Amino acid sequence: MNVPSSFDKRWEAAILVDKSYNFKFLATKILLARLKINFNKIKTAQEMKKSIDELQTFFKKNINNPLVANDLSELLGGM
């Protein structure tokens, strides 16, 4: 599975939308929860870009892990 570019609107939606995901990899759950909390505190375009970049980088670095690949499908397919 390919990791979409940071311009893909599904990244932003993942941070903004209050949705429960069925992630298999604990680090994915923790990271997304932290990014949502941080963004909700600051709510700037810079914070959104920073959050998207961190989330995308996490998936790029870990995409060969089947659990992470599953989480990416859940995150982006669930939008």
pLDDT tens, the chain, 79 aa long: 799 999 999 999 999 999 999 999 999 999 999 999 999 999 999 999 999 999 999 999 999 999 999 999 999 985 4
Residues 6+ apart with CB under 8 A from 15: 32, 35, 36, 39, 48, 51, 52, 55
Positions of E strands within 4-64: none
| Nearest to 25, CA basis, from 74, 75, 71 | 71
pLDDT of residue 1: 78
What's residue 78's pLDDT?
A: 57
The amino acid that residue 69 corresponds to is A
How far apart, in whole angstroms, are the C-alpha atoms of residue 19 and residue 16? 9
Q: What is the pTM of this model?
A: 0.92
